[in-house]
Amino acid sequence: MSENDFIREVNEEYRRDRLAQVWTRYSGVFIGLAVLVVLGVGGWRYWQHAQTVQAEAASQRFEEAVRRARTGTPEDAEKAFAGVVAEAPAGYRLLARLRAAAEAGKADPAAGAKAYAAIADDASAGTGLRDLARLRGALLLVDQDDPNALNALQSLAAPSSTFRHTARETLGLVALRKGDFEGAGRWFDQIATDRETPPGLRQRLEIYVALVAGGPVQVSAAAPPPPAAPPPPAPEATR
């Protein structure tokens, strides 16, 4: 045996002894870690299964609430969605809250707007869904000239807002209804200059611009009626 082979064999024997010592000293730790890994993987799998079962149950309850919304009264649908909100996971719970607010708005616009406002103020909801709730709540009250609704639409009409197109169109129509043709023109100009305006809105915009260009309808005073014709002469009596 050469000197190099001897040294290598000694080193390997030394490593085996060291490993044996480490195992003897820390075997309990290694076994405990292995058990924890197995339990962790098993717990994760169980949690995934429980989440899947819960999501499937929530999906069925949500579909049942949608069916009741189509066939029943708004009150029944609102109660059904409220049940989903109470028991479903976060995703279905938020969808159910939006649908429940919509059903409430059918019977009572103020109640629906209040429900939408609660979603808009919920920090756990995403920004897009909060803006959607703010828009729908404002649309429920805009015909009542509610100042809060108009303020919400104006904030949603900002260039960076996802719902700016609907907000601008609604504000322009509100101005038209009030006879504020100058204000309506400003909102419609923002729609016209926005490169991302949807094609359908651009088609409607042609009608809006024509209404603004026509201005207020001038109703002329009615002309006086012509004088009544004199009665025809009475026929002469025959002799």
Q: Which residue has the higher pLDDT, 24 or 99?
A: 99
Across the chain, what does the average pLDDT equal? Answer: 77
DSSP code per residue over 99-151: HHHHHHHHH-HHHHHHHHHHHHT-TTS-HHHHHHHHHHHHHHHGGGT-HHHHH
DSSP 179: T
- Confidence tier at 54 by pLDDT (50, 70, 90): low
Tell me the pLDDT tens digit for each residue of 113-136. Answer: 999 999 999 888 888 989 999 999
Contact 120, 130 (CB under 8 A): yes
Its pTM stands at 0.63
Among residues of the chain, what percentage have pLDDT more than 90? 36
User: Is 50 exceeded by the pLDDT of residue 222?
Assistant: no
- Among the ranges given (47-61, 123-137, 167-181, 213-227), the one the predictor scored with the smallest mean pLDDT: 213-227
Kindly indicate the confidence band of residue 237, based on its pLDDT and cuts at 50, 70 and 90.
very low
Residue 201 confidence (pLDDT) above 60: yes
Q: Does 224 have pLDDT greater than 80? A: no
* Per-residue pLDDT at 41 exceeds 80: no
Closest CA to 139 of 152, 125, 158, 122: 152
Task: Name which residue leads in pLDDT, 41 or 145.
Answer: 145
Structure letter (DSSP) for residue 163: T
Position with higher pLDDT, 54 vs 192: 192
Residue ranges covered by each domain of the chain: 73-148, 157-214
157 vs 180: CA distance, rounded Å: 18
Residues ≥6 apart with Cβ < 8 Å to 157:
164, 167, 168, 171, 187, 190
Q: Where are the alpha helices (DSSP H) in 72-108?
A: 74-87, 90-107
Residue 30 has pLDDT above 70, yes or no: no
Residue 49 pLDDT level (bands cut at 50, 70, 90): low
Whether pLDDT at 53 is above 70: no
What is the per-residue pLDDT across 132-185, written as a single tens digit (0 to 9) for each? Answer: 999 999 999 998 888 999 999 999 999 999 999 999 999 999 999 999 999 999
* Predicted pLDDT at 77: 73
Residue 239 has what pLDDT?
A: 41
